[in-house]
Structure 1
């Protein structure tokens, strides 16, 4: 299940040599090792950045199923609603609808975020008007926090394990979309080199795992 093109019209109109989106550095890849070698508190630590409300440890078996409604990535200033995505006629993952640069998509026939398995979310890198929701995904760092608020009011809090870039003709479907024994998340957008004839030459993928949850606020009793 490859990913459909996540556009690049802005680069064509502006001159792509000077405005390509950020690319992940080798330090953010799996090969560079885990994020724990770096300083600073983990994403779920009370002293680090947190989702809105107190962050609790997730249940050992993960959360019950509930579809996502919003995604936030504070370190790259993402705060976007989530829409459902299916598969196109060529069995590639659909992309969010054009016309709204600040919307991410979730693969609706896959795992909901926070549930044991691999949840998949995708977003445009740009459109004809400029950068879109996942433009800065390539600048994401290991250990960064991703917050996914779900329809049940629970926010699933993930920590980034790695950010990698894969050429379109060598996209590792099994690595990106394959099953997981814990609740994991993939964030995907276009990236790599850009050609005005064929568009982006690669995909940027952020890998993350569930580290915490925040519960919806308890209604006040009168």
Structure 2
């Protein structure tokens, strides 16, 4: 029986290609309340994000094809922990919003990170993408201290079957939401890799962070 993986790969790639202009993470706080329960990102959350969680801006000049090569029955990630900076969280699944942008965790669940199901399952070839807020209107959020992570730090991801994968941080960068490195974050990788994304930087006139913090990791 042929695998469904190629179809899933093409579908995800097409969605991200069509929406490659909306790639910056909207996982942060804002001074304005919102009734919306989720924000967006295409590749990471986008300009249609709710004001309660921060707002992304478009900024990709090209397309990306995430390496979703996991088998359909492979268990998804259930928990992430970063012992060196005291982060630990269960993981909710994040898909696409009705407008084709990628979800982020709702502001009221700011202490919970999420796994973007359109990218790879941790442990499978390709980038696995975990998204979390820095702050929300409710206060400090799960990835608030992600800026303090150091190269070589360990990130532990446990799947739904109880297996723990160990990733090692290989680098981090702060980027403008207007110049989000789509290919670097979501592009195919031969080995299993990890990306952790949150908001960072100064605030614009509307109270939204202007940058994203991206942490890169590789399976140890």
Short-chain TM bin? 0.5 to 0.7
1:207 aligned to which of 195, 216, 220: 216
**1:67 Cα offset (Å):** 0.2
Verify the 8 A CA contact 1:67 1:151 in the aligned structure 2. Answer: yes
Verify the 8 A CA contact 1:10 1:126 in the aligned structure 2. Answer: no
For this pair of structures, how many residues does the alignment match?
Answer: 162
CA distance in 1 between partners of 2:197 and 2:169 (Å):
13
Q: Does 1:101 align with 2:110?
A: yes
Listed as ranges, the gaps of 5+ residues in structure 1 are 13-61, 212-222
Q: Does 1:184 align with 2:193?
A: yes
What does residue 5 of structure 1 align with? Answer: 26
Describe the SS at the equivalent of 1:175.
Answer: helix
**Higher Cα Rg, which structure:** 1
CA distance in 2 between partners of 1:200 and 1:4 (Å):
10
Verify the 8 A CA contact 1:167 1:203 in the aligned structure 2. Answer: yes
What does residue 58 of structure 2 align with? Answer: none
Verify the 8 A CA contact 2:24 2:178 in the aligned structure 1. Answer: no
2:173 aligned to which of 158, 161, 164: 164
CA distance in 2 between partners of 1:178 and 1:149 (Å):
23
What does residue 136 of structure 1 align with? Answer: 145
- What is the alpha-carbon root mean square deviation over aligned residues? 2.3
What does residue 127 of structure 1 align with? Answer: 136
| Higher RCO, 1 vs 2 (CA within 8 Å, ≥6 residues apart) | 1
Taking structure 2 as the reference length, the TM-score comes to: 0.68
Verify the 8 A CA contact 1:105 1:122 in the aligned structure 2. Answer: yes
Taking structure 1 as the reference length, the TM-score comes to: 0.67
What does residue 110 of structure 1 align with? Answer: 119
CA distance in 2 between partners of 1:72 and 1:10 (Å):
29
